Structure 1
C-alpha cells in the first residue's frame, strides 16, 4: 500500500490519533527513536487528563441532570442546561473507550462498527455542546436587549424546538465519521482512523475531503460560534453599563471566564488541525505529540461546563460554601430546595435585564 495514502489519512476525528510514520515527502524517513519519548509522554498525559475528565464529567454532568430533572421547575434555562449536560454526559460515557485505546498505545480492539460509532458520538458532542452554548449566549443577549419581546415569546416549547434543531444539526455535521472512519492493521496494531481517500486511487479526493472536514469544523464548531458568543456578551456588557444595572463585578468575571475558557480549550485543537491539512509545509514531528495534547485540552471543557454554566449562574446563587455542598443541599433538602427553585424559576417568565446577565 502506498505510504502517502497512509500519511494523507493520519488525521484523528476529535480524539483518536495515530501518526503514520511511513515514508514522507519523497522517501524521507521519519525517525521514530527521536520522538518516541515525547510521544509516550503525550500519550500518558492524555490518558491522565481523559481519566480525570471522565470521572469529573460523569459526576458533575450526571448530578446536573438529576438536579434539573427532579429538583427544578421546568424553564427555558433548565432546558438549555439539561441538553448541555446530556451532551457532555454522553461524551463522558464513551470516553473510557478512548482511554483504553490511548492506554494501549493506539491499538483498537473494538471493531469497525464501534470505531465509527465512537467517533460519531464524540463529534456529535462537540457540535451540540458548542451550538447549545451559542444558543444560550444569544438567548441571554435577546433577554437583555429586548426584555419585553423575550418575556412574551421565550417559552419552553420554543426552547425544546430549538434543542431538537441543535441535535439534528449536530448529527448532520457529524455524519462524515460514519462514512470515513475505518480500521486497519498498521505495525502489528489495529488503528481507528479517518480514511478520507477510501482507496489508494482516490488520493487527491481524499486530501480535499480531509481539508473540507477540518475547515468546516473550524468554521462551524469554533470560529463562528466564538464570534457570536463574543459579540453577544459585548452587547450585554455595554447594555448593562449604559443602564447601570451591574452593581458588582461578578457577572463580568463569569462572562470573561466563559469566553476565555472556551477559547483556551478549543483554539489549540482547531488551529493544529488546520495546520494538519498543510502537513507538507509544517514539521511533521509536531503532530504525534501536539494532537493528543490539544485534544485532551479540548476534551477538558466537557467537565468545566457544570461549574461555568450552571453552578456559577443566577439559578444557583443562593447555595453557599462549595460546589459539593451545593450539590448535597440540592439532592437532600427537598423541601428547602423546592421552595428556592420555585422562587427562582418563577421569575423566568417575567425576566428583567438584571436577572439575565448570568448563564
Structure 2
C-alpha cells in the first residue's frame, strides 16, 4: 500500500518512525502539527459532506430536471464520494484499524470520485460552450437523454482509469513497472491532452461571451458558476493529479516527492467542499434585502432563460434529459 496509503495518512508514518522517542516526547511539535492537520482535514470533510449533501437534496427535490442540473447532480455525488472516502481513510488511521481490504476499496473509490469530477467538469464546460456557439443546432440535434448518457459513459471511463491506476500502481506494495508507467501515460494523455484542453477552451469561450457579448437576461450567473468551478478545480485539485502522474511515471521512492501529497490532498478536499459555496454565493449576488430566499435564487439560476430572440434562447429551451 506504499506510498499512497501512508502519505494520505501522515500520522501513520510518524508513529512507526517515532517509537523510540515516543515516551519522552509524547506531544512533540511534529505530532502536534500532524494531529492539527488531521483535525482540520476532518472538519473540512464534514463541512463539505454537509454542503454537497444539501446540494444533492436540492437538485433532486427542488429544481426541475434539466441537462445542466443533471451534470451538477453527478458532480456533487462524485465530490461527496471523494470527501467521504478521504474521511474514512483519516478515521482508519486515527483508530489504527488495520484492514487492508477496507483501505483498498476506499482509496479506489476516492480516486474514482476524483477522476469522475474531472470528466464531468469537462462535459459541463463543453456542453455549455456548444449551446453558446451553435444554439440552433444544439436545440435541434441534441438527443433527449444526452446528459444522462454522457454521465453514464463518464462514470464508466472513470471506473476504467481508476481501476488501472489502483491495480497497477497505487494499491501495490511495489508498483508494477513498466505497467504502472503505461497506465500513467494513458492517464496523462486523457487528462492533459483531452479533458483539460477541452475544459480550458470551453471556458475561454464562456468568458468571452460574458465579457464581450452581454445581452438582457443572459444567464451570466450560470456562466460564472461554471468558470469558477473549473478554475477552482485546476488550482486546488489538479496539483495532486500532477504529483501522482510524475511520482508513479518515474517510479520514484524519494520521500521528498511524496511529502507534499497529504497537503495537496487537502487542497483537493477543499475543492470538493467549496463547490456548493460557489453556487450559494453566486446565487445570492444582487439579491435585494427582504427579497427572494437563497433557495429561490438558486432555482432561478438553474432555470434561468435569456430574453426572447437572443442566440442563447434557443439553447435554453432545449429538451430536458
What is the aligned counterpart of 2:171 among 184, 194, 208?
Answer: 194
- Change over 3 Å in CA distance of 1:112–1:49 after alignment to 2: same
Please name the residue that 1:334 is paired with: none
Correspondent of 1:10 among 3, 13, 31: 3
Please report how far the alpha carbon of residue 103 of structure 1 lies from its aligned counterpart in structure 2 after TM superposition: 3.3
The 2-side partners of 1:240 and 1:78 are apart by: 20
Against the structure 1 CA distance between its residues 238 and 98, is the aligned structure 2 distance closer, same or farther, given a 3 Å change threshold?
same
Note the C-alpha offset of 1:244: 4.5
Q: Which position in structure 2 is the counterpart of 1:159?
A: 147
Change (3 A) 1:77 1:320: farther
Further displaced range: 145-154 or 41-50: 41-50
Q: Do the aligned partners of 2:247 and 2:257 also contact (CA within 8 Å) in 1?
A: yes
Classify 1:196/1:288 alpha carbon distance in 2 versus 1 (closer, same or farther; 3 Å).
closer
Q: Does 1:291 align with 2:291?
A: no
Q: Give the secondary-structure state (helix, strand or coil) at the position aligned to 2:150.
A: helix
Deviation at 1:153, TM superposition (A): 3.8
Deviation at 1:232, TM superposition (A): 0.6
Counterpart in the other structure of 1:263 = 234
SS of 1:210 mapped into structure 2: helix
- Please name the residue that 1:225 is paired with: 195
By how many angstroms is 1:138 displaced?
0.5
Answering whether residue 180 of structure 2 is matched by residue 210 of structure 1, we say yes
- Report the equivalent of 1:90: 81
C-alpha separation in 1, matches of 2:158 and 2:277: 23
Displacement after TM superposition at 1:119 (Å): 1.4
Alpha-carbon distance in structure 2 between the residues aligned to 1:275 and 1:20: 22
Deviation at 1:151, TM superposition (A): 2.3
Partner of 2:319: none
Q: Which moved more, 1:165-174 or 1:86-95?
A: 86-95
Alpha-carbon distance between aligned partners in 2 of 1:343 and 1:251, rounded to the nearest angstrom: 6
Q: Does the alignment pair 1:55 with 2:13?
A: no
Q: Residue 60 of structure 2: which of 60, 69, 73 is its match?
A: 69
| Aligned residue in 1 for 2:123 | 135
SS in 1 for 2:147: helix
With over 3 angstroms needed to count, the CA separation of the structure-2 counterparts of 1:228 and 1:58, relative to structure 1, is same
What are the superposed Cα offsets for residues 188-226 of structure 1, whole Å, 9 maximum, x if unpaired? xxxxx631647xxxxxxx232333344444443466422
Distance 1:18 1:216 in 2: 32
Distance (whole Å) between structure 2 residues aligned to residue 274 and residue 128 of structure 1: 17
Q: Which residue does the alignment assign to 1:345? A: 303
Q: Distance in 1 between matches of 2:189 and 2:12?
A: 25
Contact 1:269 / 1:294 at 8 angstroms: preserved in 2? Answer: yes
Q: Normalising to structure 1: TM-score of the pair?
A: 0.67
Higher strand residue share = 1
Compared CA separation, residues 300 and 213, structure 1 to 2 (3 A): farther
CA 1:298–1:70: 2 relative to 1, 3 Å: same
Matched, 1:301 2:271: yes
Q: How many residues of Structure 1 are paired with residues of Structure 2 in the alignment? A: 299
Q: CA deviation at 1:245?
A: 3.7
- How many angstroms does 1:236 deviate by? 2.5
> What are the ranges of 5 or more consecutive residues in structure 1 without an aligned counterpart?
1-5, 22-31, 182-192, 199-205, 331-336
Deviation at 1:93, TM superposition (A): 2.7
User: Are residue 145 (structure 1) and residue 130 (structure 2) matched?
Assistant: no
Assess, with a 3 A threshold, how the Cα gap between structure 1 residues 287 and 241 changes in structure 2: closer, same or farther: closer
Is 1:80–1:136's contact at 8 Å kept on the other side of the alignment?
A: yes
Give secondary structure in 2 for the equivalent of 1:128: helix
* Secondary structure at 2:64 match in 1: coil
Structure 2 unaligned blocks of 5 or more: 15-19, 22-27, 317-321
Mapped contact 2:210–2:220 kept (Cα < 8 A): no
1:235 is the counterpart of 2:205: yes
Kindly indicate whether residue 95 of structure 2 is the aligned counterpart of residue 126 of structure 1.
no
**What's the secondary structure of 1:300's corresponding residue?**
helix
TM-score (norm 2): 0.74
Alpha carbons of structure 1 residues 171 and 244: separation in structure 2 relative to 1, 3 Å: same
Shift of residue 87 of structure 1? 1.3
